[in-house]
Amino acid sequence: MEDIQTIVEKVKMDLQAGKPDEEIFQTTLYFFGRDPEIDRHVIESLAAIPQVKIANILRLMLRVSKEKKVQKIIKRSLYRLKSRGINAEEVLPEKKSSILRPFQMELPKGFGGGFDFRGQRFLLLVIPHRGRGWIVAHGVVSDTQGLIDFLGEEMTRKGFKGFFEEVQEKSPFPLVEMEASYVGLLFFQAYHLTLEKKRALPQDYLRLKNEIEDIKKDYGKPLIYSILQADEIAGDDRILRRGGELLKADVISSWRIEEDQIRPFADEVWEAEESKIVLSQPQKETRFQGIYQRALSELFNSEERFLYQRRLEEMAYIFFKLGREEEAKISLAVAIDLEKPASPLQPNPFLFQLVIKSIFTLLKEAYEKKVKEPSLIVKP
């Protein structure tokens, strides 16, 4: 069933990207015709998407299918779409011979990793060149600085396999497959941010800029919105309340607020804990809560909230591709909540826990450092 989910996800993303019917159909051919039961599930899942393009793709499937059972399922699905007012466009008979013709060139491939606490991530784009092997463009991009690092190399298929395995082994975050056109867009956005920040551009990016721009497409929203139902998730407070749990996930566990930003609040917590004024534990907790709330208010203005919204939308896609759908939903719920104005009465659960974690991580590090320092007292 994982193959079915993969096919349907890919078709949804292709639809969002505005790809031609036959190109989307070519995607299904990697799986279609191998197993009638898988074909049935794929056809029925596609027929649940009320679009003319889906009807056209089903018509193309009908023309190449050799199984009578599968043909019957396709016809039934087409009839259901037609009853909903969605008719397939006529496909000219002379095009029939080209349906199964393989592409003259392999399609580009894209991969991406998760964000670190600084808002940096690794992206990889494979651009096939006829007779020249593959151009492999890879680098680190930042959502606040743009292109941090970028290289473009020519590789053979075998060379890329070894390179990709090495990258996966060394990367602190798992890489997942993404639409090549989306990775191209992310590189393009990072390029423009680099220009805005007046930072030096990597020469390899300038060399490959036109090829990347040819591949990229504009997406109205991050990829996760083509997979998960945002309306259902946004209305589920149960999922949102679990936002703080995300910081326990391995791919996000390293996230923290940078030291220079969180230190003033960590110092206040330390002073409250060590205060000479005798305070009960509830009184201390009240002071701590006040410090956390001020940290949220001062550190997370609308611009910072938007940054974290985008990061968590991208991480939701990473979670989903890793087969962790529940964490994907939580990540998306937190991201959607960040669209709202900040509320001291109902703080975003993820940001609230991020503040607490960052403060106590800094205090713990300071304590451990102090303990390791050699004592100046000479013992008798």
* Residue 225 domain flag: no
Secondary structure (3-state) at 199: coil
* Residue 320 domain flag: yes
Judge if 294 and 356 occupy the same domain. Answer: yes
Which of the four pLDDT bands, split at 50, 70 and 90, describes residue 186? very high
Judge if 153 and 27 occupy the same domain. Answer: no
Out of 48-52, 227-231, 376-380, least confident range: 376-380
* Residue 27 domain flag: yes
Judge if 238 and 163 occupy the same domain. Answer: no
Judge if 38 and 158 occupy the same domain. Answer: no
* Residue 33 domain flag: yes
Domain end call among 215, 247, 279 = 215
pLDDT tops 50 at residue 347: yes
pLDDT tops 80 at residue 135: yes
* Residue 380 domain flag: no
Closest by CA to 344, choosing from 310, 306, 307, 295, is 295
- Calculate the average pLDDT of the chain: 86
Backbone angles phi, psi at 200, to 5 degrees: -65, 140
* Residue 245 domain flag: yes
Judge if 363 and 250 occupy the same domain. Answer: yes
Domain of residue 294 covers: 230-371
* Residue 377 domain flag: no
> 97 or 155: whose pLDDT is higher?
155
Which of the four pLDDT bands, split at 50, 70 and 90, describes residue 14? confident
Give 129's contacts (C-beta < 8 A, 6+ positions apart).
135, 154
26-32 LR contacts (CB < 8 Å, sep 24+) = 26/103, 28/57, 28/61, 29/64, 29/100, 31/3, 31/7, 32/61, 32/64, 32/65
In this prediction, residue 250 carries a pLDDT of: 94
Judge if 302 and 256 occupy the same domain. Answer: yes
* Residue 257 domain flag: yes
Q: Distance from first CA to last CA of the chain, Å, rounded?
A: 73
pLDDT tops 70 at residue 4: no
In this prediction, residue 98 carries a pLDDT of: 43
Tens of pLDDT along 61-89?
888 887 888 888 988 888 888 888 887 66
Judge if 65 and 169 occupy the same domain. Answer: no
Domain end call among 215, 244, 274 = 215
Q: The whole model's pTM is what?
A: 0.71
Which of the four pLDDT bands, split at 50, 70 and 90, describes residue 286? confident
d(C-alpha 252, C-alpha 245), whole Å? 10
Angle at 220 (CA atoms; ends 214, 222), nearest 5 degrees: 90
Judge if 174 and 297 occupy the same domain. Answer: no
Domain end call among 215, 239, 273 = 215
Judge if 199 and 160 occupy the same domain. Answer: yes
pLDDT tops 50 at residue 2: no
Tens of pLDDT along 155-171?
988 888 899 999 988 88
Residue 109 forms beta bridges with which residues?
126
In this prediction, residue 276 carries a pLDDT of: 62
Judge if 134 and 249 occupy the same domain. Answer: no
Work out the percent of the chain whose per-residue pLDDT is above 90.
52
Stretch 33-47: mean pLDDT: 81
Among 97-101, 218-222, 356-360, the range with the most confident prediction by mean pLDDT is 356-360
Judge if 94 and 114 occupy the same domain. Answer: no
User: How many separate domains does the chain show?
Assistant: 3
Judge if 366 and 287 occupy the same domain. Answer: yes
The DSSP H or E segment spanning 150 is strand 146-155
